[in-house]
Structure 1
């Protein structure tokens, strides 16, 4: 198995200690662990997921897990992980991940229909956000990276790791000739990370408005979600 490409090396301070980290392409042998990480942390904390009630239904969680594995098979899927910089030693664990998929504006939006109604509601909320702001149309993009999740282990949050993962998204996009990276940022932590990396806000939707429109109640740490972007060239 070939070594994973290293996109970034950086250090953070945690409890008085300096920790050396790196961001690398997700090794194939860790794909199961990354998807489980997504379910255990991101999916149970994401505002749309909570508002739709996914985390309260074990069957919805398992169906979401299977869906994420299918997403990982997408032709343009690209995932990176943040792990300890342990030199040439094999990667055994990770503390964060970022997942995207390269899509074309010419490709039709897939239709999502799930057994669990909570999942149908969650994707209705996601697609509802996209209806507020069409990045391909607004920026004249023929292709772009669509967000599939960015998450960091709770013990390593607020250490600028989220910001580093956002930077790596830009490096990946630039290498693929994509001039812009954008995503809906649904938490205060990610919004601050993007602002710290110079991202701009293009659209803001208050959770109260979104909840009223789709008949759900949001339990979020900020009053609104924002579509934010940065240019890679």
Structure 2
């Protein structure tokens, strides 16, 4: 089950790191997403995540106008829980930059089905956990392992919320590899065959054009 964030200081900065980009060292930091960047973050998800994420492509999010509207509402709802991480850097001019229907009904049915495959409490003895929804780095900052740093920072967000477990459905090969590097393990195996053979089918066969597999993964944060 999901949990509302416990009462805590907000916003917090959780993690910082250095990267060399075009021969210049630049500082990045990961913090809670604040109100002044919410619209920018949702625009990034609309422009990049919905165009590139495997399930979004398979289910045709961008081709469904109602889905686009509902997806944006969904993002507003998630962000309102004050548990969204954002990566920032300072540009040379001193500005701070965020490194940013029917299809949705299908997504919710798929998520519900996966959630019911195994009892999370029986596995780890917890019924409250941090759930991720979408890992995104905009194109100009890809290749610098920023996605890896965002997953690392989830540990500090979870600690601030009083949680010790994170659970996420990773759909792309790239995000699955990053999850493995940060210690995520498979929670329950998911095959395309069982999703396609479900009555009614939970996924379209063309999912294979966008990703090799779906991996529902978890991590337990040790003190």
Confirm or deny a common fold (TM above 0.5).
Answer: yes
2:71 is aligned with 1:64:
yes
Q: Which runs of 5+ in 1 are unaligned?
A: 97-115
Q: Structure 1 residues 220, 5: CA separation in 2 closer, same or farther (over 3 Å shift)?
A: farther
Structure 1 residue 68: Cα displacement: 2.0
8 A contact 1:7–1:24 mirrored in 2:
yes
Q: Structure 1 residues 201, 119: CA separation in 2 closer, same or farther (over 3 Å shift)?
A: closer
1: CA distance, partners of 2:209 / 2:148: 20
SS at match of 2:159: helix
2: CA distance, partners of 1:211 / 1:14: 43
For residue 225 of structure 1, the aligned residue among 211, 214, 218 is: 214
Match of 2:204 in 1: 216
SS at match of 1:223: coil
Match of 2:26 in 1: 19
Alpha-carbon RMSD across the aligned residues, in angstroms, is 2.6
Specify which structure has the higher proportion of strand.
1
2: CA distance, partners of 1:209 / 1:140: 27
Deviations 1:11-66 (A, max 9, x none): 22445443321111112111111112122222232222222222211222122212
SS at match of 2:179: helix
Q: Structure 1 residues 195, 71: CA separation in 2 closer, same or farther (over 3 Å shift)?
A: closer
Match of 1:105 in 2: none
The number of residue pairs the alignment matches comes to: 209
Q: Structure 1 residues 159, 219: CA separation in 2 closer, same or farther (over 3 Å shift)?
A: farther
Q: Which runs of 5+ in 2 are unaligned?
A: 1-8
Name which structure has the greater RCO, CA cutoff 8 Å, separation 6+.
2
Is 186-195 or 122-131 further displaced after alignment? 122-131
Match of 2:46 in 1: 39
Structure 1 residue 193: Cα displacement: 0.9
SS at match of 1:150: coil
Structure 1 residue 219: Cα displacement: 4.4
Q: TM-score, normalised to structure 1's length?
A: 0.78
Q: TM-score, normalised to structure 2's length?
A: 0.81
1: CA distance, partners of 2:83 / 2:172: 22
Match of 1:184 in 2: 169
